[in-house]
Chains A and B, each alone.
Chain A
Amino acid sequence: MIDNYTRLLEVTVEIEDKAASDAAVTKLILHLKSAGRMKMLPAIVRELQKVAARRHALRPRVEVAHKKEEGEALRAAAASGIVVRYASVNPSLIFGWRARGDDMLVDRSAKQALLRIYQKSIA
């Protein structure tokens, strides 16, 4: 039951229309009240938080080793189908960039290259 409500809200959120989302939440609360199921609301919120956390983890992102590489990284990522506005700086990449989005990963960082060389050398 909680899953069904959560999924319903998830679909509403996907519309990305704040007015429509607010209306959906209001209608859900009214429905829960009339059905005597207000106790389910905290569980629905927890489920939505989980969904949000999962979406956050899977959101498209571009990381660069240095800020100066941002422009090139964003252009290259967009060419691979991963479009974001900003890149975050991750010094552990050493050099280069990596992008994630829509289940895909493009990794052009020096860290990844060095790890591959290391793994090949010890294999």
Chain B
Amino acid sequence: MQSIIERIEREIAAWTPSAGAEETGIVRAAGDGIAEIDGLSKAALSEMVLFDPTFDRTLAEALKDPSPIYGLILNLEEDGVRAVILGDASKIREGMLVRRLGRLLSIPVGESLIGRVVNMLGEPVDGKGPISAAHLRPIEREAYGVIDRAPVSVPLHTGIKAVDAMIPIGRGQRELIIGDRGTGKTSIAVDAIINQKSESSATRPVCIYVAIGQKESKTAKLVAELEERGAMEYTIVVTAPASAPAALQFLAPFAGATIGEYFMEQGKDALVVYDDLSKQAVAYRQMSLLLRRPPGREAYPGDIFYLHSRLLERAAKLSKEKGGGSLTALPIIETQEGDISAYIPTNVISITDGQIYLEANLFNKGQRPAINVGISVSRVGSSAQTKAMKKVAGKIKLELAQFRELEAFMQFSSDLDIETKRRIDAGRRMTEMLNQGRGVPLPFEMEAAVIFAATNGYLDSFAPEEVSAIEKKLQDYFAHEAGGVLAAIKESKEIHEVTEKTLREKLDAFLARHASA
């Protein structure tokens, strides 16, 4: 109590009447999360304003709820401005005083955010107390230019065999995860976050998961999973749930990008997952229509492409002069009935450096992750793939694509020649080998060793349906009895002649043991 009294006394002693004038406006009308404001003739676009609930109340009333509500100016008009309300819109009244803050919408960034769940304004929502972040950064800023960037050259391992082998992601890349609802999009992103635990603390990226328009129960479950797996130690969750105003949902990805950029500029690596941009686009459409901006295709506003391009363009691998940090983006888009040629999916596909397409049919057949290899691609990731992975996974994509064609052909023909049957069996074995459950990402060296075994015929003596069980045994064997080989691959990121020889010997021993068993 004494300390509180002392603090108040200090504040009173330090108080001097401010002589400065503030620029203010008056709320003319408010509704649907939008406020029309008279005045503020000198306000700028994207500037923050503060709705002051205390102005026309007595001190006693004001002290009951003195918390201000922020707003963001999005329309400058002839006789006033329109602003989106970034808070409880029901508290905004006609005639309410609005103060200009003279700064663009900014959020606190810093190391202290790590391990926390925050809202789009950087305020904690996890009940773990206040966050003391030292830096305040505007959420909208121009992306780095060509001169400041370096080519993507360092891999970002997701721990998912199919992704790391066929659709590799590099640090600084933008890789879209696209598919219908319930096909495992979030699982891929979360596994990628969990897998960063296997990285050394020096190279481990700070992960930012931005939940846009999600159910709060889903976000809570996800945070619990990340905590259980020890991934919250290096993760920040930014949440704008379905119950949040559309403005917060549309701005949440920009807040995530701003936090990621802070770490990138410190020379570190950051990974940001936007889950998902379809909901962000819907929120932006809602807001634009309420702001009376002219609707375009599917009622989206004309600048919907720019909304996503300016966000995703902020992902970058910085040059050495700029510290060499990186910001990798994994945007997620939900399709309807597998239609990737819809408006928003095509927009985001054209912006990103590749996409991982998850297909409901494959998911229903039991393939995990349900990646359609034919239309999934990584445009820059192959240059970031390690030599070891390139060596073992070089032809997998082609073989799997051929297998899918033969598989389709097989449905019309019962009489197959031996070579075709062999290819189909090899494809089935490969598919089984690439199957991987949720929440079990593998370290890169284990992936390389397992794929090496599959692509070099060590699994050919097993029936396709046995491959999954054998692969688990093989992983145990590598982990407990062939740790040296894994360590050699991990250290050199290559499979040298000597390593390959040892790897083959170990695999022969494994096969002999299995055959004898």
Q: Residues of A at under 8 Å CB distance from B?
A: 54, 57-58, 80-81, 92, 94, 96, 100, 103-108, 111, 113-121
Contacts and interface: CB of A to CB of B under 8 A. Distances in A.
Interface in B1-48: 4, 7-8, 11-12, 15, 17-26, 28, 38-42
A-B CB proximity, top 7 nearest: A92-B58, A105-B24, A104-B21, A103-B39, A117-B11, A106-B21, A105-B22
B230 interface: no
Nearest to B41: A103
Contact of B62 (A57, A106, A115): A115
Given A92-B59, A121-B11, A103 B24 contact: yes
Contacts of B40: 103
Nearest to A50: B28
Contacts of B62: 111, 115
A58 B26 contact: yes
The binding surface of chain A is classed by DSSP as: helix
Interface residues of B, number: 32
Given A103-B25, A106-B21, A115-B63, 8 more contacts: A54-B26, A54-B28, A57-B38, A58-B38, A92-B58, A104-B22, A111-B58, A117-B15
A117 B21 contact: no
Contacts of B15: 113, 116-117
Contact of B59 (A54, A57, A81, A111): A111
Contacts of A103: 23-25, 39-42
Contacts of B366: none
A58 B20 CA distance: 19
Contact of B8 (A100, A105, A121): A121
Given A103-B25, A107-B22, A117-B12, A94 B41 contact: no
B113 interface: no
A118 B8 CA distance: 8
Interface of B: 4, 7-8, 11-12, 15, 17-26, 28, 38-42, 54, 57-59, 62-63, 66, 95, 97, 99
Nearest to A111: B59
Contacts of B21: 80-81, 104-106
Contact of A54 (B38, B66, B99): B38
Contacts of A105: 21-24, 97, 99
20 contacts: A57-B38, A80-B21, A92-B57, A103-B23, A103-B25, A103-B40, A103-B42, A105-B22, A105-B99, A106-B19, A107-B18, A108-B17, A108-B18, A113-B17, A114-B59, A115-B62, A115-B66, A116-B15, A121-B7, A121-B11
B24 A104 contact: yes
Nearest to A54: B38
Nearest to A80: B21
Nearest to B28: A54
Nearest to B26: A57
Contacts of B99: 105
A115 B38 CA distance: 25
A104 B40 CA distance: 9
A108 B18 CA distance: 7
Contacts of A54: 26, 28, 38
Contacts of B38: 54, 57-58
A117 B66 contact: no
A104 B19 CA distance: 12
A49 B43 CA distance: 26
A101 B38 CA distance: 12
Most A CB contacts (10 A, CB to CB) among B7, B18, B21, B24 go to: B21
A100 B12 contact: no
